[in-house]
Amino acid sequence: MKKFKIKFALFLIIPLISILLLTVGIVQLITVTTVSNNLENQQKNIFQNSTLAASEELRKNIKEIMNQIEIISNYPKVQALKFENQDIKSEVLSYFKSISNVYKSDIQYIYFGFNSNGKLLIYPYSELPSNYDARKRPWYIEASKNPGKVILSSIYVDVITKQLITTVSKTVKTGNNVIGVIGADISLKNFSEKISKTKVGKSGYIVVLSSDGKILIHPDKSRIGTDSVLKPYLDKMKKEKQGFINYVYKGKEKTAFYRYDELTNLIYFSALEKEEIQSIITSTRNKVIVVTLIISFFVTIILILFSLFILSSFKKIKIASQNLASGKLNSFIEDNTIIKEISEVIEEYNFAISKISKTIKSIQDNANTVNSTAMNLSAISEEISSSSEEISSSTDQLAQGMSEIAESLTNLLNLQKSYLESFEKLESVFSNIIELAKSTVSYSKQGEQKLTEVVQISNNFIEQFSNMRSVIDGFTQKTSNIETIIQTIKSISDQTNLLALNASIEAAKAGESGKGFSVVAYEIRKLAEQSKDSVKIITTMINEIKTELEQIINAAEKLSEQSNVQLGAINQTVSDLKLIINSIYEISPEINTAVSLISVNKQMTNEITSNVEKITAVSQQTAASGEEIAAASHEVARGSEEIAENAQQLANVSNSLVENTNFFEI
């Protein structure tokens, strides 16, 4: 069964892209959820802030006019008003006019109702019915019930102008007697128009309700005066003052933020369709999805390019492996990758190819040498075979000549060989001694050189220690100078303390005028005491530094003494090494002389052995055992033939080895 395999690029890209898509999906889910919640809260905050701002604006304006009514009620001319006194009435009307000009857009009328006859002094002038009695009006009655307080009447819609109107009133006293009620009609036209035009969010708006749930301000004028859809929630809104309410209007779900203002007795609310919030969330989610897809696309491209970059390195390795399989040992991989692991693989591959190439080259050279040797061996075996036949033919003639002395010569030859072997062993021993002497000299010189370097380092250390000692002495001297300066500072602080004490005494004598100087003198004494304490701390630290410097000097001196002792030992070692080297140099000529004598004796022994072998050869030619020599000659001939056959086989094997290694290109 064929094993399923996958390409490396897919093996690398698929998990990375899967992880990327999973991560992107999770991030997108979290982002969309977070953004949705934040957007909903943000929209609610916008509605809340807009509603609160509207209520605070009206509250601020009305409070300002109420404060103004408070001021008017305490105005002396107003408190001195009498219906019969035309001069004071004229001055008060001028005063009303100036105030009306200031609050031109807010105050419609300012008026004063006389308690004596119910008449009304009003600005701007307005024709009143002849039977008009201010004392019967609601604003007058409410103010009379709450003397001394500024009363704000309920806001209502004027039947004729369709404008919101409210009245501010307060009793006016002369002494303990109420002489009348000051009042002002406040028009909320500008405020109403501003609120009606205010947009909250994309399609939201602000609505103002009366305490009984009637609509007072609405962008749709036709709905003014009608009951609000939030009327069932009036008790809840008045109790909780502000908050959010969810309701359904014309089949659409809405969320409203409400604010109940106790001062004006009005309810403000702004409504937002949930579809609007959902559309914003959907738009934001779509944008997040698009951005996520774009990022995923580019990251995928980057991953693919990165995988192809890695794959290019593996392709180089694959091509090099194919070249290796085809016998090309000169095909190396160019290392231009930035990935450390792949670079290490390429480096190891090139190193292995280099080693294999050298090995194949060595095998080829050895095979050629074996082939040449086999050919020479074959030729020699043929010569031996030919010579053996000649020896066999002449054996009978030579056998009788040397039969008597063959045994003696053989014994002599054995003795000569033993003697020669002894000289060879002795020569080998002396050769080893010479080599050991040379090695000893070499190692001794190296040791002498290393010890010389150690001596130099020790001398440098001693010199550096001397320099360090000079620096430490200088630092000690500077420390002493600092102590002198510190003593001076201490003396100055003592004098400053004394002067501050004297200044305190003089300031005390000066009494009240010297208090400020006394405080300064106290602070100077305090600074002097702090300076004195700081001097003590610095003195302690300097003493500790001096102690540590003395410890450093003592330790360094001990180290210097040890270094001098070690330096002396090293110098003695160098001297001993020099003596050893000189001794080796002195004994070397003696060893060479012995080797020369051994060589001379060996040469003489070789000459004797050669002569004995010649005599033995002559004796063997004349020996009586010609048949045995002939048989041996035949054996030699057969052996030479076998050698020739083996040499031919060896040549064939070497030729085959050369042919096989020629497959590789080095």
- Where do you find CATH 1.10.287.950 in the chain? 406-623
Instruction: Given CATH 3.90.110.10, say whether it is the number of domain 63-173.
Output: no
- What six digits make up the tokens of 184? 């002002």
3-state secondary structure 97-159: HHHHHHCCCCEEEEEEEECCCCCEEEECCCCCCCCCCHHHCHHHHHHHHCCCCCEECCCEECC
Structure confidence at residue 146 (pLDDT): 92
CB 51 within 8 A of CB 270: yes
Q: How far is CA 503 from CA 489, 506, 514, 525, in A?
A: 20, 5, 10, 10
SS3 271: strand
CB 394 within 8 A of CB 633: no
List per-block mean pLDDT (blocks of 10 residues) for the chain, which spans 666 residues. 52 68 71 61 68 79 89 91 90 92 87 93 89 92 92 72 82 91 87 77 76 79 79 84 80 80 82 64 69 74 69 68 66 67 72 74 72 69 64 58 62 65 66 69 69 70 69 71 76 75 73 68 73 75 74 70 69 70 68 67 68 65 62 65 70 68 63
CATH architecture of 406-623: Orthogonal Bundle (1.10)
| Cross-strand bridge partners of residue 665 | 328
CB 338 within 8 A of CB 32: no
d(CA 174, CA 141): 19
Structure confidence at residue 1 (pLDDT): 45
CB 209 within 8 A of CB 223: no
Structure confidence at residue 90 (pLDDT): 92
Structure confidence at residue 559 (pLDDT): 63
pTM of the model: 0.39
Structure confidence at residue 199 (pLDDT): 74
Structure confidence at residue 259 (pLDDT): 86
